[in-house]
Structure 1
């Protein structure tokens, strides 16, 4: 049995669908972080059968995790301080996504101009739309 130490101060990203942990790891650019990070894949779970899990010691940027509300509403974020759980919540979809997804419209300015940021806003219908051409984003879930 693999044993991973509990973290004292940081965050745990729990209930990641099996096989999606590495996608979240890359999206959050955790490879460029200086903190201690544990990515566990295909962990047995009574409730979910199988899941992925990410533990980040010393993580202090919870606003970066807002994008998880777009990716999967079943993910649980657990904030740990002094070895104790201080907050447990599901991220909500952010109002704006910046450089998370790319516009698929070939006529969009983001397709023709270099260094143009891909920005999507959450519409009243609950879908993300490109701010430049109003193209609806395809879901990653």
Structure 2
């Protein structure tokens, strides 16, 4: 007999679904969700028809900004964001990598001017290979020192 578990619905807030398995905690920390004082539900290693396993995060009473969605796309490019109002999905959209990312991650080049001057870090983002395949590589090029880095070097593993 198959038993289906349900997670309590939220009245208003955001649900991040289809997060690659194991990335949910990383997203919580990156977006500082655990310290926001909002009720959060996290599901990890849940079955997914498209991805095998997935994580899911529900944040009650908080809508995500565009900058946060851009950060999320670096960790979970296949994720979807569902905006909830009065227990209904009022907007649903997929993640999309931004062309640029400003002031989010420091440049890994210790000689970069952005580390010592009062300027925000600034990266140009590009994808090498097919975005939908597991072979795609996200590259981030610093506007100031012009060095290119694999995404993992800039954002960590």
Q: Unaligned stretches of 5+ in structure 2? A: 129-137
What RMSD in Å do the two structures reach over aligned CA positions? 2.6
Q: 2:113 aligns with which of 103, 109, 119?
A: 109
TM-score, structure 1 as length reference? 0.82
Instruction: State the partner residue of 2:59.
Output: 56
The CA distance in 2 between the partners of 1:75 and 1:134, in whole Å, is 30
Q: Unaligned stretches of 5+ in structure 1? A: none
Contact 1:120–1:130 at 8 Å: present in 2 too?
yes
Of stretches 3-12 and 98-107 in structure 1, the one that deviates more from structure 2 is 98-107
Q: Are residues 1:89 and 2:89 paired?
A: no
Distance 1:22-1:9 versus aligned 2 partners, 3 A rule? same
TM-score, structure 2 as length reference? 0.74
Instruction: State the partner residue of 2:121.
Output: 118
Q: 1:42 aligns with which of 29, 42, 45?
A: 45
> Which of 1 and 2 has higher RCO (CA within 8 Å, sep 6+)?
1
Distance 1:16-1:108 versus aligned 2 partners, 3 A rule? same
Contact 2:63–2:83 at 8 Å: present in 1 too?
no
State the Cα distance separating 1:135 from its structure 2 match. 1.5
Q: 2:24 aligns with which of 9, 17, 21?
A: 21
Contact 1:28–1:65 at 8 Å: present in 2 too?
no
Instruction: State the partner residue of 2:132.
Output: none
